[in-house]
Structure formats: structure tokens, C-alpha cells
Structure 1
Amino acid sequence: AQAIVASILRDADGSTPLVGEETSAALREPENNALLALVTEAVSSAIGERSPDDVLTLLDHGGHDASAPEYWVLDPVDGTKGFLRGEHFAVALGLVCDGHPTLGVLGCPNLHVATTQSPEAVDGQGVIVAAEAGQGCATGGMEGPLAPVKRSTCEGLVRVCTSVEAAHTDHTAVDAAMQTLGREWTGVRLDSQAKYGLLARDQADAYLRLPRPGKRYVERVWDHAAGALVAMESGTTVTDISGKPLDFGHGRGLEQNTGVVAAAPEIHSALLEAVRSSG
């Protein structure tokens, strides 16, 4: 996916750098020649005939360091373990200007188009969630059309989504924070920025990404830029655990932030306080 997106962006907007998660390093190893051939075939089927060298060059087109005032940011397979399990993953593309996401698109191939379906269901229909800063959020199936979406007020049960992997969030801390909040709640665990998509599509009320005790993990820009924007444009409040907005203006890492607390605005302040007091 990174090679395909890089080609399209280079042709349409060659002056704006692309910050991608992947590089060509592994595919350049001789023992991976067969894999490179398969990747080249897949890329060629999507955007026209390309050579293996073309594919390697396109992959490395995403090697910029996110220091420019404006840059594209791409995670071609966000939620790798979910992808490998045949569960949820996303292709996430964002445009960052002066440290703030201004465009965001999530492609979530295994989310159900109908928001009435369980977000954990994996049926392969697929969903697109897209947003532009100040212009709202829209969602629909992979073939379109997209329709505007806005989240509703969270008045009863609080639907909380977290990561599947314990390495990505402290699930014990999530349980403690929700107990401190004192609201009836239910949890769903899934991989990738599909969690932000659930917030945008009003299928969740909160997304907590809380660091494990003693761990200083710097979140990566490609794991949050597109998702944070679609959630915010649907009416969700997105901050780190200190209440600061996510700052995408310091390179490939969210160096000024720790964790994520994204929630419906009417519960965000209370949830933030619950995270602080229970931590």
C-alpha cells in the first residue's frame, strides 16, 4: 500500500514530503527476492507496470523525517497483528500542517458498514472514514458514497475501546480509570486506528491508550494523525493523558505527548481526571 500511495501522491503533489512507516530495507535482502516479485506484481496491478527497482524507490519515498511544515503521513498496514490474525487493521493517510492534521482518511477493510453491527465483527465489507479540518467527517462503504457523520451525546452506557495488545496500553489502568469515573461501561478491544473510526462513526464513546507503569513510549505520528482528525471532526475531544492536544510538529514521534484520551466532549474532562487520579 505504501508504494501505491507514494506513487499517487508523488504524481499529484510531488513537493510535499511523505512520512511513511515502512522502508524497502527488508525487500532489498536477497533472500526476499520472491517476496519482492509478489509485491511488484501487486503494485503493478493497481497503478500500472512497475519494476522491482521502481517499487523499492516508491517505498523509500516515504522516508522523510517529518520536519517540514507540511507533510503527508501514512501507515500502510496499521494494526499489523490484527491484519495477520484476519481481524481489524487500517490504511491510514493524513496531511499535517504546522503540527496539526488537516486531512485524514482511514480505510478499515474489515469493519461493517452498518453502525448497528458489533464493532468486533469481521465481515470484510469495509469502511472509509474521511475528514478535513473544519469541514466535518464522512463515512461509507469502500465503494462509496460517503455521508456526513456526527457523534451523539454520551448519556448512558460508556462504550470504551482499547488496543488488543497489552504492550500498547495498560488494560489494568483502563479498568481502574473507568471504575473511578463511576459510569456503567463496556469495553471493546481491536487493533489499529479503526478505534478512532469507531469514535467518528458513533460506535464508541472513548478510546484510552494508557502507558504501562515505568514505560516511556513515544507514539508515532502515523499511528494517530489520520485517526485523531476523523474523530475530532465528528465531535470527539482528543488529547494526551495530560489534557494536551496531540502535537505532530516534532518529527516522527509525538515527543510532547504521552498516551491518548479520546472521548465524547461531555465525558472527556471527567475521564481525564479519572485517568489521572487512578494512575
Structure 2
Amino acid sequence: MGKADLHAHTTASDGLFTPSQLVQHAQSLGIQAVAITDHDTVSGIAEGLEAGKKLGIQVIPGVELSTLWNGKEIHMLGYYIQFDNENFRTLLMKQRNTRKLRNEMMIRKLNELGISISLEEVNQKKKSSSKELNVGRPHIAEVLIEKGIVGSMNEAFDKYLGKDGLAYITPERISPFEAIDLVKQNGGVTVLAHPGLYQQDDLIPQLVQHGLIGIEVNHPDHTAEDRKRYQEIATKYQLITTAGSDFHGERQGSMYHAELGTCTVDISQVAALQKKSGSNK
């Protein structure tokens, strides 16, 4: 059976590959299906689907929504969403505005720490010509590396930008429950992204009750213990198990998360997601 990587980013958000390049990369690695799950945007999906048709790669339309619960950022993956729905796109624009505010807040904190960095410098790292300036933490990290403040992406996140970093901050966002509703209203299904990064397992039963249908068991930042625990949770709540590399590409010689295809599931899991969504795409 074929392999599927269900978590990947493009230049539509903070990835380095265009949607077409991502699909070509999947083909070169022998991956039969890839989900485009950019942060709070669906602007890369149409290009990715077109490339998939040409190259014989199954492209799953997705999105990664940033949410907040008890002061902790929780990411939710939506699959088979109606990405051409204008109302959905408008709601995602609000999400991106919150992301922009977060960037401004982080840069202010970095400045307070004596680090000279500006929003303009960060925005210039955006690799897409899209009108949507969907900039994220990897772009900030890229500037920090160039300035010699840190030596790698991992150091940038560990020291400054990650949840325990000196400059980490997050504004108010929608809740994970609202994210499930948003995805459901737009024809999709929701999977909890990399739960091992939150260690907030008590939230999972609540999300299941609200309509969560899957959990990302295999992620490059999960330990073996994490994978075992979330597999057991998935079995207990009859959730679809997914996997994804969280691919962004390599910046300054440093890979953020992992190479495409590092974490995959059997392509049959794609069919399970599609069936749950009722999609014929």
C-alpha cells in the first residue's frame, strides 16, 4: 500500500516550497498522498491539487488552525474543507490577523531583550508572491539566524520563540472547540495536531465529545512514549490515527520539524478521513 504524509506547509504560509514544488517533492520521495495544511490559509490548495492531477499524487485539501485553550496554543488540522468557500476564507483572514499581531508582540519582546529585529525584516522572508502576507515564527527565526543571534532553527525556538522561550507570547484566539465547528461547517473533519507538544491529554475527551475524529499519533517531535500513549488514546476513543512530518523545508541549513515523508501513514487512512467528511473530492 502507498504512503501518505498528512501535515505539510508551503509558501502560502511558512513553508519554503510552493504547492507545486511540494507535490513534486512528494513524488520524488515515493509518497502517494500529501496534505497541504498551511497555517490559517487555504490559498495554496488549488495549485497543489492541479499539480497532483498532473503528477498522479493525491493531494488532500487541509488547513492548520491556531487555537488557544487555558493559555496554551493548540493546533487543529482540518481536512477536506471547502477551501473555495468565501465565508471560510474571510474567517481565516481574521486568524491571520491574529497571527500578525502575535508576530508584532514577539518582535517587541525581542527588542526588549536587546535584540534588534523589525517586522519589515521578518516580512521580507516571506517566499510567496501571494497577496496574503502569512508570516510565522520560522520567518522570525530565519532573521535571528542571519543576524547571528542563534545558530539554528532549534535554538531559535528553544531560546526565544517556542512555548518556553523568552519572547514567546500568544494573543487571544478561537478555542479548539470553535475550530472543530468551523471545519465542520465547511464540510471537513478535524484532527488534533502533535498533541505531545501540549501534554494536555485531559482536553482530548472533551474534543472527542465535540466532534474530533482523529489524532496525529506520529509526528517528528513525538517521543516513542508519546506515540504509544496517543495510539492507546486513539484506540480508546475510536479516533483515526494520522501522521505527518510537519514539513516546512530547510532554512539556513536547519530543518524545521522534519523532511517530508519522515512520518507517514498507510494511504487507507486518507480514505478513512475522506469517508468521515463525506467528501467526493
TM-score (structure 2 length as normaliser): 0.32
Which one has the bigger strand percentage?
A: 1
Structure with higher RCO (Cα < 8 A, 6+ apart): 2
State which structure, 1 or 2, has the greater radius of gyration over its C-alpha atoms: 1
Which one has the bigger helix percentage?
A: 2
